[in-house]
Amino acid sequence: MTTNDSTPQNQTTVPQRIVDLLEAEGIRTIFGIPDPLIQHLHRYAKDKGFEVVAPHHESAGAFMADAMSRMTGRPAVVCGNEGPGVANLLPAAVCASKENIPVIFIGGQRARRYDSRVRRSQFQYTHQPEFFRPAMKYVGIIEFPEQVDDVMHEAFRHATSGTPGPVYVELPEDHALVSMPFPPAPEPAHYRVVHQPASTEAVEAAADLLVGAECPIMLIGTAVHTSRGHDVVAALARRLKCPVLPTYGGRGALPETDPQVLVYSSPPANAAIAAADVVLAVGTSVGETVQYGSDHHWAQGNTRRKWIYIERDINNVGVNRPVNVALVGDLRDVVPQLDAALAQRPARRELPQLTAWRAELDELRRALFEAAPDTYPIHPGRMIRDATRVLPDDTVIVRDGGCTSLWELAYHEMRSRDYLWTSKFGHLGAGLPYAIGAQLAVGNSRRVCLITGDSAFQFHISELETAVRKQLPIVCIVNYDAAWGMERPGFHMAFGADRDVEARWGEVRFDKIAEGYGAYGQYVDRTEDVAPAVQRAFDSGRTAVVQVAVDPEVNAFEAPNWAEFATWYGHSLY
């Protein structure tokens, strides 16, 4: 007697076993183009009720998996077929490495005997692991069918331990149809650490330091998003009653309408940093974009402030800056520990300065938003303001682009707690795939909006068809200046006005392209039409593109926060 796929009863093929192991990890979605070797894995996943998503480019599929991981707090999976399919995964693999996202890359490969052959010009074959090793936390090859559990379990151990990150598993075609008996797939806790609390002594020391502080602040980063630690971090913030400063990657971890949030690099945030005597760093590497917590804003005021650092990887402690108390563990475990320890101590009083700092921030933003002019062509800051004010409060925001990102950072007040972008690597083109992965993760419970530059949007514009095919109601707002906007100032500063090379391009109607893919498209070139167009796009309930033609000179040469952006590199850009 056999099963429907001709596998003997009580026998499981290697691709089937891989799917069973993924299911044990809580994974129910697989991304990848269904090329011949990967077809077996896709077929079995689909039969088990998985969502199988085929992108139009493997790199886009990997970015979708990246976003899925960010939105679920679990590893996600993308597959590539032997040779060129696996090669197409590399850009997203490097990005996942820099962004610390636990994506499982599964690469198909020709038979193992090809590794030792000395003949040249083998079709669709190259030694794939050597290209992935520099970016991966682990590279494993399923040499024999009975090794599938060992290799997959090791992959998940590395992806989820210490600093999270991507791993690569290679599946040679020798094993595609090999079947053998396997025991039931074990739960993750049986083969890897799933909880990592900090030591009691460190938690007590941190609690004492915070209770005794006159002006503590919380610096919260990207890992609050990627670990799905929003609720526990919000609870701790309420306990401390202190200013909360999200890093650029941590924006939205608490909504920016929250009375405790001060936007990083704003004058009131800088005042809070200057006054702070204790900094609690949660989910952040305290990296270059916040000047390693030592220079720029941090060099002002109380420079003897103490630091409490929550960090999963013991090897990262004290690297970017000295710390006074290190809480080594997963923030999902450590933050509740610290909250519980503080609950046993005298309650902190409201920080008197916080109300004034928050009022100052509100006034600064109000003045900025109100000053955004109604011009023709459209002022990009006004476009961001008007487009985002009609978004539902719980909208998942994805951002992509250069100057567009600077305008969005300045003119969008985040009311949601989910905000996806490549904050550590600055990788253009991930936006649309991220939006697809995010919408797949939240299903029908929430909406997803991509705010992107036109150049970035074209990297993976073919994935509009993927969104349409999967019936995903993503709204894409395209800041359109027909140029590589961020590159133009560089040419101007180096060579003079109008000396740019290949930085501008011709007219493209993204709304028409969207319609060609079966999506909803609109073109806007008047300020008063921006908000109604975005509202109609959301109301359509379909994949939608709203193309907004903005002033290309203002977009490129008046983008806000250029001076702050320059400090991310540790020195002047020019």
Higher pLDDT, 567 or 102: 102
Structure letter (DSSP) for residue 178: -
Query: Where residue 175 falls among pLDDT bands split at 50, 70, 90?
Result: confident
Domain membership of residue 2 (yes or no) is no
Structure letter (DSSP) for residue 263: -
Domain membership of residue 281 (yes or no) is yes
Q: Alpha helix (H) ranges present in 81-146?
A: 84-87, 90-99, 129-132
The CA angle 130-43-17, to the nearest 5 degrees, is: 60
CATH of the domain at 185: 3.40.50.970
Lowest mean pLDDT among 35-44, 257-266, 408-417, 547-556: 35-44
Q: Are 346 and 399 found together in one domain?
A: no
**Token pair for 60:** 């886009």
Share of the chain above pLDDT 70, in %: 96
Last residue of one domain, picked from the residues 307, 331, 356 = 356
Domain membership of residue 1 (yes or no) is no
Q: List phi, psi (to 5°) of 295.
A: -105, 180
User: Residues near 305 by Cβ (< 8 Å), separated by ≥ 6?
Assistant: 276, 277, 278, 279
* pTM, 2 dp: 0.94
Q: Are 166 and 241 found together in one domain?
A: no
Q: Are 474 and 554 found together in one domain?
A: yes
In this structure, what is the dihedral angle of CA atoms 145, 147, 150, 156, given to the nearest 10 degrees?
-50
Is the separation of the CB atoms in 111 and 84 below 8 Å?
no
The structural domain count of the chain equals 3
Query: Where residue 231 falls among pLDDT bands split at 50, 70, 90?
Result: very high
Strand intervals (E) in 296-421: 306-311, 325-328, 396-400, 419-420
Is the separation of the CB atoms in 224 and 232 below 8 Å?
no
pLDDT at 489 over 90: no
The span from the CA of 67 to the CA of 80, in Å, is: 18
Q: Are 179 and 218 found together in one domain?
A: no
pLDDT at 54: 97
Mean pLDDT to the nearest integer, 159-184: 92
Q: 235-282, pLDDT tens digit by residue?
A: 999 999 999 999 999 999 999 999 999 999 999 999 999 999 999 999
Quickly count: other Cβ atoms within 10 Å of residue 181's Cβ.
8
Count of all residues that appear for the chain in the document: 574
Integer angstrom CA distances of residue 503 from 482, 486, 488, 500: 9, 9, 6, 6
Domain membership of residue 540 (yes or no) is yes
CATH of the domain at 212: 3.40.50.1220
3-state secondary structure of 481: coil
Is the separation of the CB atoms in 555 and 485 below 8 Å?
yes
Q: 124-146, pLDDT tens digit by residue?
A: 778 889 999 999 999 999 999 99
Q: Are 125 and 265 found together in one domain?
A: no
Beta partners for residue 12, in sequence order: 180
Domain membership of residue 55 (yes or no) is yes
The span from the CA of 488 to the CA of 490, in Å, is: 5
Query: Where residue 52 falls among pLDDT bands split at 50, 70, 90?
Result: very high
Q: 65-106, pLDDT tens digit by residue?
A: 999 999 999 999 999 999 899 999 999 999 999 999 999 999
Q: Are 67 and 150 found together in one domain?
A: yes
3-state secondary structure of 177: coil
The full DSSP string for 399-422 is EE-SHHHHHHHHH----SS-EE--
Quickly count: other Cβ atoms within 10 Å of residue 508's Cβ.
16
Q: Are 106 and 211 found together in one domain?
A: no
Is the separation of the CB atoms in 534 and 387 below 8 Å?
yes
CA atoms 113, 116, 119, 124: torsion sign: positive
Share of the chain above pLDDT 90, in %: 83
pLDDT at 72: 97
Higher pLDDT, 173 or 343: 343
DSSP H or E segment with residue 371: helix 352-371
In this structure, what is the dihedral angle of CA atoms 270, 272, 274, 280, given to the nearest 10 degrees?
-110
Q: Are 334 and 461 found together in one domain?
A: no
Domain membership of residue 7 (yes or no) is no
Is the separation of the CB atoms in 479 and 407 below 8 Å?
yes
Mean pLDDT to the nearest integer, 52-70: 98
The span from the CA of 237 to the CA of 188, in Å, is: 31
pLDDT at 10: 72
pLDDT at 116: 67
Q: 425-454, pLDDT tens digit by residue?
A: 989 999 999 999 999 999 999 999 999 999
pLDDT at 2 over 50: no
The span from the CA of 58 to the CA of 84, in Å, is: 9
Last residue of one domain, picked from the residues 137, 169, 190 = 190
Last residue of one domain, picked from the residues 169, 190, 211 = 190
Q: Are 231 and 349 found together in one domain?
A: yes
Mean pLDDT to the nearest integer, 5-25: 84
Q: Are 351 and 408 found together in one domain?
A: no
Is the separation of the CB atoms in 163 and 287 below 8 Å?
no
Q: Are 391 and 509 found together in one domain?
A: yes
Radius of gyration of the chain (CA): 25
pLDDT at 36: 81
Return the closest-CA partner of residue 307 out of 100, 290, 254: 290
User: Residues near 62 by Cβ (< 8 Å), separated by ≥ 6?
Assistant: 31, 78, 89, 92, 93, 96, 103, 105, 433
Is the separation of the CB atoms in 262 and 269 below 8 Å?
yes
Domain membership of residue 170 (yes or no) is yes
Placement of tokens 């320059």 in the chain: 566
Integer angstrom CA distances of residue 55 from 52, 78, 172, 520: 10, 10, 22, 20
The CA angle 339-164-248, to the nearest 5 degrees, is: 70
Q: 288-343, pLDDT tens digit by residue?
A: 999 999 999 999 999 999 999 999 999 999 999 999 999 999 999 999 999 999 99
- Across 356-386, b (16+ Cβ under 10 Å) vs e yields ebbebbeeebeeebeebeeeebbbbbbbbbb
Quickly count: other Cβ atoms within 10 Å of residue 493's Cβ.
10
Across the chain, mean pLDDT equals 93
Domain that holds residue 314: 200-356
Domain membership of residue 365 (yes or no) is no
The full DSSP string for 482-543 is SB-TTHHHHHHHHH-TT--SS-B-----HHHHHHHTT-EEEEE-SGGGHHHHHHHHHHHTS-
User: Residues near 109 by Cβ (< 8 Å), separated by ≥ 6?
Assistant: 37, 82, 86, 125, 128, 141, 170, 171, 172, 173
The CA angle 70-76-82, to the nearest 5 degrees, is: 135
Q: Are 77 and 168 found together in one domain?
A: yes
pLDDT at 293: 95
